[in-house]
Structures are given as structure tokens and as C-alpha cells.
Structure 1
Amino acid sequence: MADRRDIKPRLGGPEMTTAQLFRLDGRTVLISGGAGDLGLAVAESVLETGGDVVCLDLRETPPAEPWARLESLAAQHGTQIAYHQADVTDADRISAVFAGLRRLRYPLRGVVACAGIGNSTSAVNFDVAKFRRTLDVNLTGTFLVAQAAAREMRRHGQSGSMVLVASMAGSVAMRGSDVADYESSKAATIGLGRSLAKEWSSQAGFPLIRVNTLSPGYIKTGMLNPMLRAFPDAEKNIADLNMMNRLSFADEYRAPAVFLLADGSGFMTGADLKVDGGHTAW
């Protein structure tokens, strides 16, 4: 059991304005899956709220147009953005990337882990290699990034906040979709978030590291677009499953991510924030 005399410091406080509670000045935020639609959208908000950004992704280089826009945004706000190619399931590569982060101008104090994949196949016919790969990317990859980040935060004696991107699929079965690999991996990600929050918020002698999960609903991203193109009625059928009667867009997760990263959520850890248009509230 943790020594409860080791009281963690309060984040924020009455002396801070509401605007300051949602600022990320003087800290670096690492985003895995940082070349995807969701990662790029979150990077934009981090830059706008004063934080530097490091993006990791499997791609050799980020997509040109959105990346140029982010670089321009960083220059406008006096922030910085960098990109590293990395497979989140490769522990050695993750360690090498984090070793290079020791030259950052601001300490690493935030993580958004949104690298993820999925397949749509009947469980009876599911290829076990594909099932394992989904778990490896979505769960093990998330753990490796969080683990490396926690080690870096402790090395600097810095508090931090981690946002593990899960999914509403981690809480409910997704009607009309055969995605056993994805649902299982996201349910496990929610459990991982609670477990890491328990360890890293209460261990005596170490800085406070808050860990929460963010569970989006269906997002119109590159992962979903092939299905929408293949089945003309898919978007309407999916939209009818939530209370808002529409799909979400990647930019709608910018504010929830910044909230979880910033001091405004300072008494929040081990929680799962659902942003799903009411899908799981039926």
C-alpha cells in the first residue's frame, strides 16, 4: 500500500484563472499515432495552448499539408513540433525515441496515445495473427509508450498527465460490426488506464502522473472511410445508433484531450471520458 503521508500536490488552485487551467505552457506533449486524423487534431490544440508537441507514427513522414499547417501554427504561437517514425510495438525503437527526447526545451509532461488499428471480420473466421496484431498495437503499444513516458517524467521529477485513447467499443458491443479484436483491445485499454492511474498517482516518493482514458464514438477518419465508401447506407445506419444522429469529426476531441492533459482536470485520474454522442447512454 502507498504511504498516504506522501500527499501529492494540488494542481491548479484558486489563484489560477479559468483560462490558465486549460493552458499547457512550459511542457511537451507526446502523441502516438500523431500522423493520423485524431493525432493531428490534438496536436493543433496543444500548440495553440502553449505546449510543444512530439508526434510518433509508423509512417516515415507525416502528411504534408496538415503538417505544414501545424508548423505554421507552432510559429504563430511560439511553440514547437517534431516528428519521429516509430512502431509503437517495437520496445527498442520506443526506447531510442525517448532517449532522444532528453534534448527537449520543455520537459515531457503529457502523453496522448492514439495509435490504433482494427479489423472487421466474423469471430468464427478471424485470423489469429490479425487478432494478435490488433492487441499488440492497441494495447501493448499503448503500454510501451506510457511506460517510457512515465520513466522520463520520473527522471525529471515532473508531474504529468496521460490520455490513453480507448473507444466506446471498450464499454459496449458495437451493434452491426464484427470487431472482436478492436472491442477487446479497447476494453483492455480502459483497464490499463485504471491500473496505471492506481500505480502512478499513489506511489510514495514519485511525482504524480495522472492517467485517464478517452473513449470516442464513431469518427469520420481514414480508418472508417473505406467502410463508408463500400456501403452507401453505412453512415446513416451508424449515425442512428447515437443520440446525436451523426458521426463525429476528429476536431471534436481537441477540447476533451486538452482538458485531460491540463491542470483543469487536476483531481481526475483513473477515469474514462466518453465522447460518443450518447451512444453508450441508451
Structure 2
Amino acid sequence: MTNDSRFDGKVALITGGTSGMGLAAARRLLEEGARVLVTGRDQGRLDAAAKELDGAAPDAGERVLTVRADAASLTDLDALMDAVRDRHGRLDVLFANAGVGAFGPTADVTEAEFDRTVDVNFKGVYFTIQKALPLLAADASIVINASWTLHRGLPTASLYSATKAAVQSLVRTLAAELGPRGIRINAVSPGYIDTPMFRAAIPADEVEGTRAQVASGRIGTSEEVAGAVAFLASADAAYVNGQDLIVDGGLVGAVA
């Protein structure tokens, strides 16, 4: 269930919003009245996302702007913020969602894989926030997409988990730094969510075993994560700051 007025008149930016949790969050915020900017690296996927989001609400097409941008490129981020400024002049919500998966034995990680993963998952988040600061309204909310792997060790996820730990540290620090401006920052840490990244990382014959680890007995949906993002970004969470909301169906809590 959505509250179709929580974001009336608000401007939201979702990075990496062409599929999965980012796309679901864009749809949710549109349904609740926001004007939304969505980024992605691939123009074809951006066009497909814009077409899909057009049906989120009667006037959704008029409230969506897609911008091709690589979160790891500072040049692209500068152009993105120029687009936000030109279109709306401010930001009320930032969902720093762009990220890449990196799974494999630590012994096999290459320097190129390390650099790309850190560039997108940490550097990209850091500089997206930095460059958005001049545009953020006095009561703006930032949400970062982190990971359940912050809270429970996952073999083959040393690189990925380290980047997610870095952004969670950023949440705590920036909550203290930006609090005097009235800006809140929190994270969501999704568990196993049915997204293209999940399907690419988990072989079909391992899905049942993965599901069995979750206390709720199922894999989560992108829409469920989007609901958590919308809550944290809204005035309903006005006194929630510097926190990490685990959205995992009990995956972490069920561990003995």
C-alpha cells in the first residue's frame, strides 16, 4: 500500500535506476507524487525504464527525467547535477543505489575488478553525495543501498562486502556532519532480493538452498525494498538518522 501524497512536490534522484531495486524505488516515489530523475549507464535500458515508469501514475511521464551517467565518473556526476539544477533547482531525496556485484574467492580478485567495484560502490556513492550537497534542500533525505553482508559473513564476498561496509561508515559520519543542515542520511541493507544481480550471482540449482536460509521462507522483492526506501526518505522517518534498515526477511537475525 502506498501513500500517494507523501512526496508531492518533492524532487528525487535515483542512481542506477534502470532495473531491480532502483527502478522499483523510482516507481514507488512516482506513485507517491515525486518528480523523479533516474540514472543508468546504458541509454537503451534508460529508455526502457522511462517507458515502464510512464505507467506508474497518470502524469508520471511528465515527472520523470532519465540521465545517462556512470556513477564512477566524476565528469558524468557533474553533468548529472547540472541536469538536476536545470530541471528542478534542488533535490529533496537522493537514493544512492548504483552498484555492482563482485563475488569470487579473494585469491582470484584482480586489480581491475577491485578498482571497478570500489569505483562504483564506494567512490561513486561518495562523490554522488558530495556533488549533490549544494542542491539538497534543508530537510532533504539521503538513502544509500548497502547490503546484508555488513552483518553476516558471506564467502566469496570479501570485496563486495568491504565496499558496503565503507558506505555504511559514511552513513554514520554524514549523519553527524549534515544533521545541522537538517539533512538525514540512512541506509537500507537488502537481503536476498529477486533482481537481475541476484539471478546472475545465484545459480538456479542453488536458489532453493538460498531461500531456506531466510526466516520468512522466501526471496524478497524489489518492491519491498522500495517501500523501506520510501519510508526512510519520507517525513514519517523524520527522527531516523544515521541508521541501517535491514530488509532481509530475517536472513541475518535467524543465524544462531
Larger Rg: 1
Partner of 1:7: none
Q: Which runs of 5+ in 2 are unaligned?
A: none
Decide which of 175, 178, 196 is 2:156's aligned counterpart. Answer: 178
CA contact (8 A) 2:186 2:241 kept: yes
Report the CA distance between 1:66 and its aligned residue. 4.6
Give the 5 Å matches for 1:211-250.
211-228=185-202, 231-250=203-222
* Percent identity for Structure 1 against Structure 2: 29
Q: Is 2:104 aligned against 1:121?
A: yes
AA of the residue aligned to 1:219 = I
Whole-Å separation in 2 of the counterparts to 1:106 and 1:94: 16
CA contact (8 A) 1:74 1:80 kept: no
AA of the residue aligned to 1:191 = S
Decide which of 50, 73, 89 is 1:67's aligned counterpart. Answer: 50
Whole-Å separation in 1 of the counterparts to 2:41 and 2:248: 27
CA contact (8 A) 1:26 1:50 kept: yes
What TM-score comes out, normalization by structure 1 length? 0.84
AA of the residue aligned to 2:171 = G
Task: Count how many residue pairs are aligned between Structure 1 and Structure 2.
Answer: 253
Report the CA distance between 1:107 and its aligned residue. 3.1
Partner of 2:122: 139
Whole-Å separation in 1 of the counterparts to 2:90 and 2:109: 43
More contact order relative to length (CA 8 Å, sep ≥ 6): 1
Report the CA distance between 1:194 and its aligned residue. 0.9
Q: Is 2:41 aligned against 1:58?
A: yes
Deviation by residue 1:103-158 (Cα, 9 ceiling, x = unmatched): 334731101111111222111121122022111110110111111222212xxx53
Give the 5 Å matches for 1:196-207.
196-202=174-180, 207=181
Deviation by residue 1:70-104 (Cα, 9 ceiling, x = unmatched): 11324446860010011111112201210121233
SS across alignment from 1:244: coil
Q: Is 2:173 aligned against 1:195?
A: yes
Whole-Å separation in 1 of the counterparts to 2:16 and 2:61: 24
Give the 5 Å matches for 1:35-184.
35-62=18-45, 64-76=47-59, 80-105=63-88, 107-153=90-136, 158-174=138-154, 177-184=155-162
CA contact (8 A) 2:104 2:156 kept: yes
CA contact (8 A) 2:10 2:92 kept: yes
Decide which of 11, 14, 21 is 1:31's aligned counterpart. Answer: 14
Whole-Å separation in 1 of the counterparts to 2:122 and 2:236: 27
Change (3 A) 1:226 1:194: same
Q: Is 2:244 aligned against 1:272?
A: yes
Moved more, 264-273 or 88-97: 88-97
Moved more, 90-99 or 69-78: 69-78
Q: Which runs of 5+ in 1 are unaligned?
A: 1-18
